[in-house]
Structure 1
Amino acid sequence: MSVLISVAELNARLFAEPGPGFRVARTVVLDVRWALGDPHGRDHYLAGHIPGAVFADMNTELAGHGRPEDGRHPLPSEDEFAATVRRWGINTGDTVVVYDDAGAAAAARAWWLLGYAGFKDVHLLDGGLAAWRAASLPLATGEQRTEQGDAVVHFGAKATIDADQAADWSGILLDARAGERFRGEIEPIDPRPGHIPGAVSAPTSENLAADASFLPAAQLRARFAGLGIEPGSDVAVYCGSGVTAAHQIAALEIAGFSAALYPGSFSAWANQPERPVATGASGIAASGGSGGNDDRVDG
């Protein structure tokens, strides 16, 4: 199943008039506008969204609650997420399309989480809301009303790792944050700067073209090959709190690779003082202490 769907394909799904005897599969659209430091995602949605789209809240619907050592955006429980997807109006067999206005950096969390929950027909809108606007397609305002869905959720359909596995990862561990955060030059929110020792810097911004659409599959394959990834490689990904790492996994899947997610990511790692951190381009490990992906999105 393709990771991406184009604006033209989504528009056809939402507004096509099928001929006699032809049925277009039902499509649910989720608006996942969220960025670190901008608590007004719902307001942006209400002011203008793709017609029929339902707002998905990062902090209350796409993440659970936990201790600092669990990270800023721990996964919701299976029961919590099941209630959420039904509230969004998703039924068994529906196609789901997710988008944001930040190059899919936030929308990818919903894409990954739905895949992790067992949904097979889930797509990222390539180029997001900007591409929809560029095509001069209509926007709707206000809240989208939904009827309760009947979708079933079973976690585990995508691979994850925990902190112990990240510490001992024998394959390639990608850090999806901006390079300056990886190197420890800045750290705007986590208690210690740096990265997990042994990780490779791979900012999610390098997955995108200038118009915020994903690079073609061949270019993404070349990018990841340059990071040492080849068919059969064991790959895991983390970011700041498990949000933009999902964007990296989407790019890897477009390129033909699979990867596991470390959901707690560096926000969990950095809040466990016994875990060492490394700084610099290649990494100098240190333990204890306190302390281009667009950092407006929690990477």
Structure 2
Amino acid sequence: MNYIIDKEWLLKKLHEQNVRIVDCSFSLAEPKKGRQGYDQNHIPGAIYFDLEKDLSGEVGEHGGRHPLPNIEEFIYKLETAGIDEITTVIAYDQGEGAFAARFWWLLQYLGHEKVYVLDGGFKSWREGNSPVTSEVPTFKKTTFKPNMNHDLLASMEDVRAVAGEQDSDTILIDSREERRYLGLEEPIDKKAGRIPGAINKPWFEGLDSGYYKHAEMQKQRFSDFNPENEIIVYCGSGVTAAPNFLALKAAGFEKVKLYLGSFSDWISYQENEIE
């Protein structure tokens, strides 16, 4: 199934009653920048979900830098935004892809199938001279009934069971840039390196100037993997691994999980080895 849509598709759906648009714009360097940009201009009808306030939980000893949000609280926020399990939802960011993909993954985890990512994000939308507004919409509260898809989430124990195992049928994908994967530099986390046995597939190689590469090119990126094998993707904190998760789905891989805590969670356990 194709979960990536273009602005022409969204323009046709823009004013449909059962469509919700979610602005996930965020800057890791400037956490307030996403909301400030939304307040200035956004796609008409869009509501704002913040990476750290809405799409992540409280940071603790374990769980990584962007842990799974409290599911009941997240569902309440969806309901307040007028989103139920049959609403068509389109997420976008500024074109980076990672923040919208994080929201997309969370709804997939809740069992919501009709959720999509706007290819090229808000940058693409503005280039097309499409309508924007500063108006913040309100919607009638609804009820969201989740159908949890736990198969999409890999725990630290799941990863530990396959890390460094030569004969494992599970493939570990490290989605970070090569220098962090190799442990040559680590600008964010307390330790450098990778989870033993992980293969490097930088997340940004699945995009071209903010647009996702088409399915055949994604298949080529992952042509060294057997589609029958289980794949676990991770990054630093579970955010930039989401575009790789989405790209794998576009390439036809079905057995894909996200290690949401990712490397920042892995290193929080002193006994875990680092390669």
TM-score (ref. length: structure 2): 0.93
Distance 1:101 1:124 in 2: 12
Q: Which residue type is aligned with residue 264 of structure 2?
A: S
Q: 1:119 Cα deviation (Å)?
A: 0.6
Q: 1:113 Cα deviation (Å)?
A: 0.2
Q: Which residue type is aligned with residue 205 of structure 1?
A: F
Q: Give the equivalent residue in structure 2 for 1:12.
A: 12
User: Which of 5, 21, 29 in structure 2 is aligned with 1:37?
Assistant: 29
Distance 2:61 2:176 in 1: 19
Q: Give the equivalent residue in structure 1 for 2:40.
A: 47
Please list the CA deviations of residues 267-287 of structure 1 after superposition, one character each: whole Å capped at 9, or x if unmatched: 101121211111xxxxxxxxx
Distance 1:124 1:250 in 2: 9
Please state if 1:58 is matched with 2:51. yes
Provide the secondary structure at the position in 2 that maps to 1:168: helix
Q: Give the equivalent residue in structure 1 for 2:216.
A: 218
- Is the CA contact 1:7–1:126 (under 8 Å) kept in the aligned structure 2? yes
Q: Give the equivalent residue in structure 2 for 1:277.
A: 274
Please state if 1:233 is matched with 2:225. no
Q: Give the equivalent residue in structure 1 for 2:262.
A: 265
User: Which of 227, 243, 247 in structure 2 is aligned with 1:247?
Assistant: 243
Please state if 1:132 is matched with 2:125. yes
Distance 1:36 1:276 in 2: 27
CA root-mean-square deviation: 1.5
Distance 1:157 1:275 in 2: 24
User: Which of 72, 88, 106 in structure 2 is aligned with 1:113?
Assistant: 106
- Is the CA contact 1:78–1:153 (under 8 Å) kept in the aligned structure 2? no
Q: Give the equivalent residue in structure 1 for 2:68.
A: 75
Query: Paired residues, what number?
Result: 267
Distance 1:188 1:269 in 2: 16
Distance 1:26 1:247 in 2: 26
Runs of 4+ in structure 1 over 6 Å off? none
- Is the CA contact 1:191–1:271 (under 8 Å) kept in the aligned structure 2? no
Can you give the 5+ residue segments of structure 1 that lack an aligned partner in the other structure?
A: 16-23, 279-299
- Is the CA contact 1:115–1:158 (under 8 Å) kept in the aligned structure 2? no
Distance 2:125 2:59 in 1: 36
Distance 1:189 1:102 in 2: 22
Distance 2:108 2:42 in 1: 23
- Is the CA contact 2:95–2:119 (under 8 Å) kept in the aligned structure 1? no
- Is the CA contact 1:52–1:144 (under 8 Å) kept in the aligned structure 2? yes
- Is the CA contact 1:236–1:260 (under 8 Å) kept in the aligned structure 2? yes
Provide the secondary structure at the position in 2 that maps to 1:252: helix
Q: Which residue type is aligned with residue 173 of structure 1?
A: L
Please state if 1:26 is matched with 2:24. no
Provide the secondary structure at the position in 2 that maps to 1:124: strand
Provide the secondary structure at the position in 2 that maps to 1:174: strand
Q: Give the equivalent residue in structure 1 for 2:165.
A: none
Fraction of identical pairs, as percent = 36
Distance 2:86 2:135 in 1: 27
Q: Give the equivalent residue in structure 1 for 2:155.
A: 162
Q: Give the equivalent residue in structure 2 for 1:281.
A: none
- Is the CA contact 1:184–1:194 (under 8 Å) kept in the aligned structure 2? yes
Distance 1:25 1:200 in 2: 44
Q: 1:158 Cα deviation (Å)?
A: 4.4
**How does 1:77-96 map onto structure 2 within 5 Å?**
77-96=70-89
Provide the secondary structure at the position in 2 that maps to 1:277: coil
TM-score (ref. length: structure 1): 0.85
- Is the CA contact 2:85–2:146 (under 8 Å) kept in the aligned structure 1? no
